[in-house]
A and B are shown apart, each in its own frame.
Chain A
């Protein structure tokens, strides 16, 4: 499976932007980049995903490098409720080694200070 690498932890202040990085140098052309987050005592929650172009939704933005070997999840204004573990995952389409898989790493623990 293609691997992702994330920092173990990051900190932010409330109402400031947060940029969570993810490296995936072995990504294949059919892999989508997914982000999930897990709040304390909750199951993981879908945040956003993309293939090549940058994506925006109500929760966050996803910036994908031109060579697709890295990506950044952007929370535009962090709130205390955004404190969670954030997982970057490659999810493949037909023909790829990650086809059908949803493999979690250790993720990044985001701490938000008031």
Chain B
């Protein structure tokens, strides 16, 4: 079975341009996470979905970032407009549910460079 699939793997854009990242979680997984990881740091949660509902988006910079998870399956994270400080790796993860006993699976991430 395929794992968590993210695309694109790499993206280079100029500042003030929009960018979108796509995530396809493992089939049947209800919980989906988006993280941002800066160089040398641990991943930081941006938003968590339970099915199609965003249940934890307190760390999402809502002035420029948006996310959606239509039908509770695939998810898209968008930045508009991008700033230099948005350069980072964006990770998507999914888990069967939000219970402590279930593990999460991560995609390879999208490395964003804003120039």
B50 pairs with A100, CB closer than 8 A: yes
* B residues in contact with A34, CB < 8 Å: 103
B114 CB-CB contact with A under 8 Å: no
Chain A 8-40 interface 0/1 with B at a Cβ cutoff of 8 Å (1 = within): 000000000000000000000011101010000
Chain B: interface residue total (CB-CB under 8 A): 27
Q: How large is the interface on A (under 10, 10 to 19, 20 to 34, 35 or more residues)?
A: 20 to 34
A99 pairs with B98, CB closer than 8 A: yes
Known: A103-B45, A104-B42. A43 touches B91 (CB 8 A): yes
Chain B 17-58 interface 0/1 with A at a Cβ cutoff of 8 Å (1 = within): 000000000000001010100000111110010100001100
Q: Which residue of B lies closest to A49 (CB)?
A: B103
* B residues in contact with A104, CB < 8 Å: 35, 42-44
Chain A 60-97 interface 0/1 with B at a Cβ cutoff of 8 Å (1 = within): 00000000000000000000000001010001111010
Q: Which residue of B lies closest to A47 (CB)?
A: B103
A106 CB-CB contact with B under 8 Å: yes
User: Max chain B CB contacts within 10 Å: which of A34, A100, A106?
Assistant: A100
**Cα-based distance from A36 to B45 in the complex (angstroms):** 15
B101 CB-CB contact with A under 8 Å: yes
A100 pairs with B91, CB closer than 8 A: no
User: Max chain A CB contacts within 10 Å: which of B33, B42, B93, B98?
Assistant: B42
**Cα-based distance from A34 to B108 in the complex (angstroms):** 20
Given contacts A87-B42, A103-B45, 5 further A-B contacts (CB under 8 A): A44-B93, A46-B104, A101-B45, A102-B33, A106-B41
- Which 3 residue pairs across A and B have the least CB separation, nearest first? A100-B98, A43-B106, A104-B42
Q: CB within 8 Å of B: which residues of A?
A: 30-32, 34, 36, 42-46, 49, 51, 85, 87, 91-94, 96, 98-107
